[in-house]
C-alpha cells in the first residue's frame, strides 16, 4: 500500500488541492456512470460483448406465470445516485530543533557590502538531525462525505417518456403485413 500521508506532506498545497479536486471529479463521474449502468440493468438491458445495449429478458420480473416480464423501472424502482458534498483536508506539522555549540571553533563568513552577515543553509539528513537534535513530524487526514441524491429530474422525465412509449407499443403493436 502506498504511503499517502508522506505524499500529502511533501506535496505543495496548490497541487494537493488540484489533485483532490480532480480526484473527486473523476470519482463523481465514475459514480454517475455506475448509476446509469444500473438504470440500464433495471430497465431490462445489458451490454453484449461489443458493448451494444441489448434486451435482457432474464432481468425482467414476472409477477404472474404466463405474463410478460416487467422491468424494475416500470415497477417504480430507480437507481441510486451519489454525490460528494464536502471534503476536508487537515495537515499537521511539528518541528523542533536544539542546537549544539562547540567552544574554540572559528569560522569566517563573507558578508555583502550592505550586510556583515551571511546566509547559511543546511540540508536535513541523518547527520544534521543527530548533531542538532532536529525533529520534524507530520500527519495528514482527508475526509469526504458521500450522500445519496435523487435522480436528475431530466433523467426521470426521459425514463417516463420511454416507458410511456413502450407501454403504447405493447398496447398497439404494429400490424403485421399481409
pLDDT above 70: residue 124: no
* Confidence band, pLDDT 50/70/90 cuts, at residue 67: confident
pLDDT for position 30:
95
Confidence of residue 119 (pLDDT cuts 50, 70, 90): very low
CA distance 165 to 153: 18
Q: Which helix (H) or strand (E) holds 89?
A: strand 81-96
Which one has a higher pLDDT value, 28 or 123?
28
- What are the residue ranges spanned by the domains of the chain? 4-100+120-169
Model confidence at 89: pLDDT above 80: no
Q: Is the pLDDT of residue 29 over 90?
A: yes
With contact defined as beta carbons under 8 Å apart, do 145 and 86 qualify?
A: yes
Span 11-23, average pLDDT: 81
Q: What is the pLDDT of residue 111?
A: 46
Amino acid at each position: 500500500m502506498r504511503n499517502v500521508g508522506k505524499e500529502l506532506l511533501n506535496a505543495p498545497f496548490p497541487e494537493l488541492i488540484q489533485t483532490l479536486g480532480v480526484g473527486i471529479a473523476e470519482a463523481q463521474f465514475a459514480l454517475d456512470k455506475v448509476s446509469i449502468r444500473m438504470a440500464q440493468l433495471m430497465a431490462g438491458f445489458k451490454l453484449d460483448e461489443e458493448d451494444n445495449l441489448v434486451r435482457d429478458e432474464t432481468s425482467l420480473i414476472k409477477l404472474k406465470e404466463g405474463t410478460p416480464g416487467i422491468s424494475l423501472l416500470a415497477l417504480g424502482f430507480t437507481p441510486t445516485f451519489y454525490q460528494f458534498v464536502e471534503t476536508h483536508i487537515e495537515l499537521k506539522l511539528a518541528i523542533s530543533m536544539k542546537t549544539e555549540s562547540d567552544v574554540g571553533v572559528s569560522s569566517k563568513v563573507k558578508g555583502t557590502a550592505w550586510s556583515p552577515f551571511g546566509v547559511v543553509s543546511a540540508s536535513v539528513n541523518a547527520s544534521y538531525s543527530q548533531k542538532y537534535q532536529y525533529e520534524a513530524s507530520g500527519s495528514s487526514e482527508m475526509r469526504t462525505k458521500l450522500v445519496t441524491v435523487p435522480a436528475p429530474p431530466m433523467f426521470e422525465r426521459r425514463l417516463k417518456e420511454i416507458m410511456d412509449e413502450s407501454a403504447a407499443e405493447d398496447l398497439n403493436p404494429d400490424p403485421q403485413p399481409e
